[in-house]
Amino acid sequence: MDDKTRSEAIHRLKSVAGHVNGIIRMLEEDRYCIDVIKQIQATQTALARVSESILESHLRTCVTTAIQGDDVTERERLLSEVVEVYRYANKP
């Protein structure tokens, strides 16, 4: 992963941590359920964006290198990883 992607991911995850702490406070304060759910959904969306960014970086670096390389085993391993991540993300 390149430094820019890593730095942005760390920044976003720290922001997500703040949101999670805010959700905890909302629950402690017995806030309206729908407001809590909206904050949870916003946090899930932020996490998904971080995940997408990291995956994109992985595809542009590690996977591209493996596809262009001569090691068939490594290429197949990386492609299988990507398929596995996609399947996990799309589980019902």
| Of 26 and 74, the one with more pLDDT | 26
- Provide the pLDDT for residue 1: 85
All structural domains of the chain with their residue ranges:
3-89
pLDDT digits (tens, 9 = 90+) for 36-88: 999 999 999 999 999 999 999 999 998 888 889 999 998 899 889 989 988 88
**pLDDT value for 17:** 97
Two tokens, residue 14? 């720290």
Question: What pLDDT, on a 0 to 100 scale, did the predictor assign at position 18?
Answer: 97
pTM here is 0.81
SS (H, E, C) the chain: CCHHHHHHHHHHHHHHHHHHHHHHHHHHCCCCHHHHHHHHHHHHHHHHHHHHHHHHHHHHHHHHHHHHCCCHHHHHHHHHHHHHHHHHHCCC
Distance (Å, rounded) from C-alpha 54 to C-alpha 12? 12
Which numeric CATH code is attached to 3-89? 1.20.58.1000
Statement: residue 26 has pLDDT above 90 = yes
Residue 92 reports pLDDT greater than 80: no
